[in-house]
Structure 1
Amino acid sequence: MKYLVRDKIFAIGDDYWIETENGRHAFLVDGKALRLRDTLELKDPDGMVLVTLRQKLISLRGAMTIERDGSTLATIRRKRLSLLRNHYRVTLVEGTELDVSGRILDREFVIEYDGELLAHISRRWFQLRETYAVNVVREDADTALLIAVAVCVIRMSEKEADHSDDDD
């Protein structure tokens, strides 16, 4: 199923809806302002928190965690060497690893487990310039987790791009 995400609204403190391809509210992204580190909550339409996304306070290569029910579910880090494309590794608490690769800033990337496609993120499906879709391919996949991974890697890539611009 495809989920519609409006881009350029990832400022902390901003809240926005992620909708199904039919225009139904699926998830609310609730940005938490006035926090020591980036914090977002992904909620269902009734306001129940499904996952919390947090920037790690101390991390050499920048990392974010995804938490569920107060416990860490996954940690996301950029892979050290990836010459042609952005590449991130998502390590779930039980040890499973997901790979995220593609052109993150262009919103053209995939999330895979052991070579199997779990989700495809793309702007191509929509005419609106500031919009991209998260297409969750597997019906048994944890949709909230995959959307959280997409949001996290985009935030991390944008911060990294901002820092490299500051260094120039």
Structure 2
Amino acid sequence: MRFLVRDRLLGFGDDYWIEDDSGDKVFLVDGKAMRLRDTFELKDAQGRVLIDIRQKMLALRDTMVIERDGGPLATIRRKRLSLLRNHFRVTLADGTALDVSGKIVDREFVVEYDGELLAVISRRWLHVRDTYGVDVVREDADPALLIAVAVCVIHLAEKEREGD
């Protein structure tokens, strides 16, 4: 399954649609402006909230928390002791760890579980300017979670780059 994200609209406090490769609106990112921390909701096409995402306050490193149905689903932060600046760790509520690595700011990276590819995020196969794709490789993977992970990782990497 491939999804398209319009990069130039990406920003917390903005709302934007994520489309499938047929051009159908699948997910709405509802940015919550005027908050002390970065927050947004990932909704389905009917407006139901699938995932809540917020910046974790009082963390030593920038951290994003993903919640579903009011409970924790995942925590995202830069991987410790990594020589790669573009390497993040996603820790799911059950303790499972996903690795995110590649050129995050350039929108060229992968999400893996135990060395197995779950999703590829890339601009390479797109001809539309300011758009990147999220290609969910595994059929049993959760597309909403993987899209939320991609958006969070990009946000954290850009926030860090702005601070440099």
Identity of aligned residues (%): 69
Q: Distance in 2 between matches of 1:8 and 1:91?
A: 28
Gapped regions of structure 1 (runs ≥ 5):
none
Deviation (angstroms), 1:34: 1.2
Within the alignment, does 1:8 sit opposite 2:8 as a pair? yes
Q: Give the whole-Å Cα distance in 2 for the aligned partners of 1:9 and 1:80.
A: 30
Superposed, 1:149-164 pairs within 5 Å as 149-164=149-164
Matches of residues 80-119 of structure 1 in structure 2 within 5 Å? 80-119=80-119
* TM-score of the superposed pair, with normalisation by structure 2: 0.97
For residues 61 and 38 of structure 2, the distance between their equivalents in structure 1, rounded to whole angstroms, comes to 16
Structure 2 unpaired stretches of 5+: none
Q: Distance in 1 between matches of 2:8 and 2:61?
A: 24
The SS at the match of 1:145 is: helix
1:17-166 aligned at under 5 Å gives the runs 17-164=17-164
Instruction: Quote the offset at 1:85 in angstroms.
Output: 4.9
Q: Distance in 2 between matches of 1:9 and 1:22?
A: 20
Q: 1:17-38 CA distances to partner (integer Å, 9 max, x unpaired)?
A: 0000000001000000111210
1:24, 1:97 → 2: CA distance?
A: 31
- Tell me, yes or no, if the aligned pair for 1:107 and 1:122 is still in contact at 8 Å: yes
Instruction: Pick which of 89-98 and 3-12 moved more.
Output: 3-12
Contact 1:85 1:102 in 2 (8 A): no
Q: CA RMSD in A?
A: 1.0
